[in-house]
């Protein structure tokens, strides 16, 4: 994964974008964080969050024009959160009475602030906090400007005075009754201030200033020309803002505060010799890209105040805070057990996976995470910006394979299963008996052949009887396991072989019963005219069979590979309707279907996550499930969910017992495929199948069988071990039990078998494996 791509994907995830309230607030108060504290009944912490951004919390919590509340997402389900009232509650119940000691490194620069309205006060506060010597010049006898004009009940004078102590704490020198002007009647000269201070901020309120006779460019209405972003004026040392810029609109205290703050940023940058304009895009109010889903949230009105003049009581504030949605996106994490399992969200995951891919020395901590994704793309389906973790994980897997860093154990078993399907034991390409050409090729797929070989035979018979011109057959594997394992070369080789066979067979259309094969052919073999068996059956007559079972309404599970194949999903539903079975939908949209735990080799890489995925799916409805992918059916059945494959309905073999039946184990799956080929050859082409080794008879009791299944040890592995041991005599005898222990390493795994010879065959007592090579030849 290259760095730019990783950065791009990382920045695509919107989870860390600020909530709507914060982005709408000119000062970006972390209202969500503050409210979270109130929810925990910690008003002091809430106050600290508010005060971190707002220098005058008493004032702002009472007079803010709160644009945050217009943006609040709660509006979509009730009323906006009364954020401003909650701020006031934080001040009332959480304000620290003890003064904190301030540690400020003094800077050798002086700034003059002219005008002590909210913008001037904020500029003075911010610059003094940064260590500048600040002197504040106010024409009247009192600080505050227009904030003194508010109704005394809304904003009592003592609240203002309490807030302004912060300026004293920061050693701001205050000159009251001091009008700064170059004109008549002033008590200080503007030009002298400009000359004796390193920078000047003017926050003079809405009135025209032409009478002051100051040497700055003015607008035709007599107001100072102020540059956007920097708040600079025609004099590079002089900055201005506040109500002076907004003389034509209603007073917005929070905007005045912002002006003072941003002008202070410019002054700080000027005095440090930094760029005044760089990286200021995120200042002031903006529209956040954070998505918050409010669907299904119970609408709630704002909590009323019992005594309006006193604001919220603690309890009322707590109740109001609990209405807050604590806006987050997490759309993908909410629907995906895999993404939830790792406790974070894609932005972080992309970074972890990129780091995992880039490190040269040390442990690759995210290997398992990379390999645990089912690659089902449900995350992309629900993501407001279409970020797909499947792409991220697949890229990482391919990169690991290229670098030789893919843990061998993860995909090995599945890849060997694929090799089995492509070996003589199963692989078969034929025209229909009696035909030298094919108008269609039936491609059942390896897993249906393993789970339900009898259905494959029935479907092939049905297709032969309904499609003219010969229906050929391909038994094999589409290459999906290689694709999921990140083995690009092997995958390309596999699909090329399929393409060549298809050409050799005269390029007929391909009918596949497997949704994964369908997807692979559609996506990677564009010339191949592939159709789903389900659309073919939907468009033709269904086999005439008598229903054994009249099922109750069933819940349909679409395999994740059909997520965006609406036509297939609809065909299935029409077929089921023709069969007279009632269907229930799982969730609202088939596009939001989930993986069964098998996709991407999730169940091999991380059985724990796969279990969570399957368990979540099978508990969505109490109804029996209907699947049309063999792996989905078997995975659900393995966890005790009653489930049928649609072919069980089509061929009338569905019964109460079929619905309860578990799928075959790994060994039986191989056996079923091999048998299917042998029977096809015998029954249709009158040929004997490939010679199979005259088997040793193995006797395995169910408990041992289950252990073998968990350890992914096949009967053919046992046979290899026993064959080797009996042929070479290389075995160990346990004197006490009389049993033999033998081992064999066909390729990369050493299998150990504990066995004894019985009258009817070899009795298997235990088996285990390891990948480490062990040698007794030590030099």
Partner 1 sequence: MSEEKNAAPEPILLCAKCSVEMKIGKVKASYLGSEFPIELLKCPICGMVYVPESLATGKMLQVEQALEDK
CB 314 within 8 A of CB 329: no
Would you tell me how many other CB atoms lie within 10 Å of the CB of residue 403? 10
750 belongs to the binding site for partner 1 (CB under 8 A): yes
Position 157 contacts partner 1 (CB under 8 A): no
Distance CA 122, CA 113 (A): 10
Instruction: Build a one-symbol-per-residue string for 386-425: x at contacts with partner 1 by CB under 8 A, - elsewhere.
Output: ---------------------xxx----------------
Interface with partner 1, residue 705, by CB under 8 A: no
Closest CA to 119 of 205, 178, 180: 205
- Using CA atoms, how far apart are residues 506 and 498, in angstroms rounded to an integer? 13
Angstrom CA distances, 126 to 104, 258, 509, 742, stand at 12, 11, 73, 79
Binding mask 49-68 for partner 1 (x = CB under 8 A): --------------------
In DSSP notation, 117-154 reads: SHHHHHHHHHHHHTT-EEEEE-SSSSS-GGGGGS-TTT
> Contact 524/495 with Cβ under 8 angstroms?
yes
Is 241 within 8 Å of 232 (Cβ atoms)? no
User: Does 11 help bind partner 1 (rule: CB under 8 A)?
Assistant: no
Residue 403 CB, nearest approach to partner 1 (Å): 12
Candidate list 734, 746, 757, 758; residue touching partner 1; CB under 8 A: 734
C-alpha span between 366 and 350 (Å, rounded): 10
| Cβ neighbours, 10 Å, residue 454 | 13
Among 707, 668, 697, 700, residue whose Cα is nearest residue 764? 700
Q: Which stretch binds partner 1 (CB under 8 A): 85-93, 123-131, 359-367, 524-532?
A: 359-367
Q: Does 723 bind partner 1 (CB under 8 A)?
A: no
Q: Which residues pair with 753 in a beta bridge?
A: 742, 767
Question: Does 363 engage in binding with partner 1 (CB under 8 A)?
Answer: yes
Q: Does 762 bind partner 1 (CB under 8 A)?
A: no
Question: For partner 1, which residue of 306, 552, 728, 757 counts as binding (CB under 8 A)?
Answer: 728
Binding piece for partner 1, criterion CB under 8 A, among 77-85, 320-328, 358-366, 557-565: 358-366
CA distances, 172 to each of 21, 108, 162, 271 (Å): 32, 15, 15, 18
Instruction: Decide whether 692 or 733 has the Cβ nearer to partner 1.
Output: 733
Provide, rounded to whole angstroms, the least separation between the CB of residue 363 and partner 1.
Answer: 5
Return d(Cα 151, Cα 156) in angstroms, integer.
8
Give the residues across from 531 on adjacent strands. Answer: 511
Q: Which stretch binds partner 1 (CB under 8 A): 144-152, 272-280, 361-369, 676-684?
A: 361-369
Q: Which is nearer to partner 1, 366 or 674 (CB)?
A: 366
If the CB atoms of residues 365 and 577 are measured against partner 1, the closer one turns out to be 365
Which region, judged by CB under 8 A, interacts with partner 1, from 223-231, 342-350, 542-550, 707-715?
707-715
Distance of closest approach, residue 494 Cβ to partner 1, in angstroms? 25
Enter the tokens of residue 124.
Answer: 């003075």
- Which of 489, 553, 737, 757 touches partner 1 (CB under 8 A)? 737
Stretch that binds partner 1, among 29-37, 319-327, 376-384, 771-779 (CB under 8 A): 771-779
Q: Which of 348, 509, 720, 731 binds partner 1 (CB under 8 A)?
A: 731
Q: Residue 285: which region, alpha, beta or left (left: phi > 0; alpha: psi -120 to 50)?
A: beta
Q: How far apart (Å, rounded) are the C-alpha atoms in residues 383 and 737?
A: 60
d(CA 108, CA 133) in angstroms, rounded, equals 8
CB 145 within 8 A of CB 257: no
Three-class DSSP category at 288: coil
Shortest approach of partner 1 to residue 743 CB, angstroms?
7
Min separation Cβ 564 and partner 1, Å:
35
Residue (171 or 706) nearer to partner 1, CB: 706
Count, residues near partner 1 per rule CB under 8 A: 39
Nearer to partner 1, 368 or 584 (CB): 368
558 CB-contact burial (10 Å; exposed 0-12 / middle 13-18 / buried 19+) = buried
Is 567 a binding residue for partner 1 by CB under 8 A? The answer is no
Residue (276 or 749) nearer to partner 1, CB: 749
State which residue, 309 or 772, has the beta carbon closest to partner 1.
Answer: 772
Query: Exactly one of 561, 743, 744, 762 binds partner 1 (CB under 8 A); which one?
Result: 743
**Span near partner 1 by CB under 8 A; candidates 18-26, 345-353, 599-607, 762-770:** 762-770
Q: Residues interacting with partner 1, by CB under 8 A? A: 362-365, 367-368, 407-409, 707, 710-711, 728-737, 740-741, 743, 750, 752, 766, 768-778
């Amino acid at each position: 994964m290259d760095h730019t791509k990783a950065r791009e994907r990382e920045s695509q995830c919107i989870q860390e974008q600020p909530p709507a309230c914060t982005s709408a607030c000119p000062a970006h108060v972390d209202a969500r964080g503050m409210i979270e504290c109130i929810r925990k009944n910690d008003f002091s912490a809430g106050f600290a969050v508010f005060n971190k951004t707002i220098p005058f919390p008493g004032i702002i919590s009472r007079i803010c024009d709160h644009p945050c509340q217009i943006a609040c997402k709660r509006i979509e389900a009730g009323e906006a959160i009364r954020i401003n009232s909650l701020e006031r509650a934080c001040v009332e119940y959480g304000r620290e009475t003890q003064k904190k000691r301030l540690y400020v490194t003094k800077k050798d620069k002086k700034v003059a602030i002219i005008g002590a309205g909210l913008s001037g006060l904020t500029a003075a506060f911010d610059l003094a906090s940064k260590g500048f010597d600040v002197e504040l010049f106010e024409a009247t006898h009192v600080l505050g400007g227009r904030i003194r004009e508010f109704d005394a009940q809304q904003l009592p004078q003592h609240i203002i005075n309490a807030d302004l102590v912060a300026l004293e704490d920061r050693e701001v020198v205050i000159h009251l009754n001091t009008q700064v002007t170059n004109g008549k009647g002033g008590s200080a000269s503007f030009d002298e201030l400009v000359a004796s201070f390193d920078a000047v901020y003017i926050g003079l309120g809405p009135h025209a200033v032409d009478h002051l006779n100051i040497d700055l460019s003015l607008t035709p209405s007599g107001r100072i020309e102020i540059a956007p972003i920097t708040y600079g004026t025609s004099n590079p040392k002089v900055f201005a803002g506040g109500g002076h810029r907004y003389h034509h609109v209603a007073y917005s205290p929070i905007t005045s505060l912002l002006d003072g703050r941003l002008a202070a940023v410019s002054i700080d940058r000027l005095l440090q010799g930094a760029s005044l304009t760089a990286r200021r895009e995120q200042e002031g109010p903006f529209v956040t890209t954070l998505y918050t889903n409010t669907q299904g949230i119970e609408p709630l009105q704002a909590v009323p105040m019992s005594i309006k003049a006193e604001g919220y009581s603690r309890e009322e504030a707590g109740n109001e805070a609990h209405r807050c949605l604590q806006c987050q996106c997490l759309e993908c994490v909410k629907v995906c057990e895999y993404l939830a399992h790792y406790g974070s969200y894609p932005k972080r995951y992309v970074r972890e996976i990129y780091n995992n891919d880039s490190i040269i020395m040390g442990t690759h901590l995210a290997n398992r995470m990379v390999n645990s994704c089912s690659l089902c793309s449900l995350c992309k389906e629900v993501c407001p910006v279409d970020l797909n973790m499947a792409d991220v994980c697949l890229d990482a897997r391919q990169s690991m394979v290229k670098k030789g860093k893919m843990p061998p154990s993860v995909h090995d078993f599945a890849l060997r299963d694929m090799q089995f399907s492509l070996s003589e034991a199963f692989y078969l390409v034929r025209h229909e008996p009696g035909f030298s050409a094919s108008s269609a090729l039936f491609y059942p797929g390896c897993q249906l052949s393993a789970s339900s070989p009898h259905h494959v035979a029935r479907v092939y018979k049905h297709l032969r009887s309904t499609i003219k011109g010969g229906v050929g057959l391909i038994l094999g594997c589409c290459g999906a396991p290689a694709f999921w394992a990140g083995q690009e070369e092997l995958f390309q080789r596999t699909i090329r072989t399929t393409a060549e066979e298809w050409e050799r067979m005269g390029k007929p259309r391909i009918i596949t019963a497997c949704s994964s094969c369908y997807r692979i052919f559609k996506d990677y073999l564009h010339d191949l005219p592939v159709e789903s068996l389900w659309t073919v059956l939907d468009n033709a007559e269904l086999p005439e069979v008598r229903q054994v079972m009249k099922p109750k309404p069933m819940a349909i599970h679409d395999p994740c590979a059909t997520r965006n194949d609406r036509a297939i999903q609809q065909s299935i539903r029409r077929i089921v309707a023709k069969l007279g079975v009632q269907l229930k939908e799982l969730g609202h949209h088939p596009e939001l279907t989930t993986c069964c735990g098998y996709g991407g080799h999730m169940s091999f890489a991380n059985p724990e996550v796969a279990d969570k995925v399957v368990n979540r799916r099978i508990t969505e409805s109490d109804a029996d499930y209907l699947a049309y992918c063999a792996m989905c059916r078997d995975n659900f059945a393995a966890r005790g969910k009653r489930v049928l494959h649609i072919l069980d309905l089509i061929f009338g073999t569905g019964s109460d017992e079929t619905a309860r039946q578990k799928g075959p184990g790994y060994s039986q799956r191989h056996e079923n495929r091999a048998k299917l080929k042998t029977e096809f050859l015998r029954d249709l082409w009158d040929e004997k199948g490939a010679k199979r080794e005259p088997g040793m008879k193995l006797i395995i009791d169910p408990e041992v069988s289950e252990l073998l299944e968990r350890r992914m040890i096949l009967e053919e592995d046992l046979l290899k071990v026993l064959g080797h041991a009996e042929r070479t005599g290389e075995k160990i005898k346990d004197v006490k039990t009389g049993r033999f222990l033998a081992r064999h390493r066909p390729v990369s795994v050493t299998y150990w078998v504990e066995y004894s010879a019985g009258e009817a065959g070899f009795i298997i007592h235990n088996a285990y494996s390891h990948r480490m090579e062990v040698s007794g030849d030590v030099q």
